[in-house]
Amino acid sequence: MPRYKPNNYWSPKYRIMTCLVCWTNERPHNAKGMCSRCLGRWRWKNDEKWKARTMSLTAAWRKNNPDKWKAIMRKANKKFNKS
């Protein structure tokens, strides 16, 4: 049994079986009744401080890892051009 499902609740704290936004329990609960992906999206819309910090962290990482960043962008472009 996965560690994040005590008492069969996806989130015992919120007493819910799935993420409130995407209705799946594929990812572990993160916070506010949401999985990590939905929480990230929610924060992106609602948490300016978090967004600013994330963006500056991403920018710093990009600066320190230009080759990795290029690889990611190449992959993303491939995916985008396919569909």
Q: For binding to Zn ion (CB under 5 A), which residues are involved? A: 19, 21-22, 35, 38
Question: Nearest to residue 45, comparing CAs of 26, 32, 57?
Answer: 32
Cβ-based nearer residue to Zn ion, 11 or 38: 38
Q: What is the end-to-end Cα distance of the chain in Å, rounded?
A: 37
Cβ-based nearer residue to Zn ion, 23 or 61: 23
Nearest distance in Å: CB 31, Zn ion = 11
Classify each residue of 6-27 as buried b or exposed e, where b means 16 or more C-beta atoms within 10 Å of its C-beta: eeebbbeeeebebbbeeeebeb
Cβ-based nearer residue to Zn ion, 5 or 62: 5
Nearest distance in Å: CB 41, Zn ion = 8
